[in-house]
Amino acid sequence: MDLHVNRPCTDGRERTRAGTVVAYFTLVGHIIEREVLPRQLGRSSPDRIPAVLIARLALDRAHHRQGLGGALLADATSRIVAATEIVAARFVVVDAIDDNATHFYNHYGYQPLLSDLAHNLGKH
């Protein structure tokens, strides 16, 4: 596959340039325990709520600060929305690797979950 970094990712897995992966994401099914949600989101929910985990979302540092991370997140999110037409999921969860990643996801509306994982964030 030879995709250019300025074109949208079409397969949901990776973008390449000259045979080098410059961006990718992975999506997996996930369960959120109601007690880790803020009260207003967990109210009237079952104890275990289906979700999708963005297990990995990465962009080569050479391509940071160009809006490509947001485009990659939007691509992942659109695929999650399409998947929820078939499989139930109420939330999208990420496990931010560090404070920079936490700020990135906060910028796009993700909120911290009430759990022991300092960088675990979710979006309704």
Per-residue pLDDT band at 9 (split at 50, 70, 90): very low
Tens of pLDDT, residues 75-94: 999 999 999 999 989 989 89
Taking alpha carbons only, the member of 73, 77, 75, 106 closest to residue 91 is 77
Is the pLDDT score of 12 beyond 70? no
Q: What's the CATH number of domain 23-123, 3.40.630.30, 3.30.70.100, 2.20.25.10, 2.60.120.10? A: 3.40.630.30
* pTM, 2 dp: 0.73
Residue 3 has pLDDT above 60, yes or no: no
Report CA Rg, the chain: 15
- Beta strand pairing status for 91-95 and 111-112? unpaired
Catalytic: which of 24, 105, 108, 110?
105
Q: 74: pLDDT confidence band, cut at 50, 70 and 90?
A: very high
**105 carries an active-site annotation:** yes
Q: Where are the domains of the chain?
A: 23-123
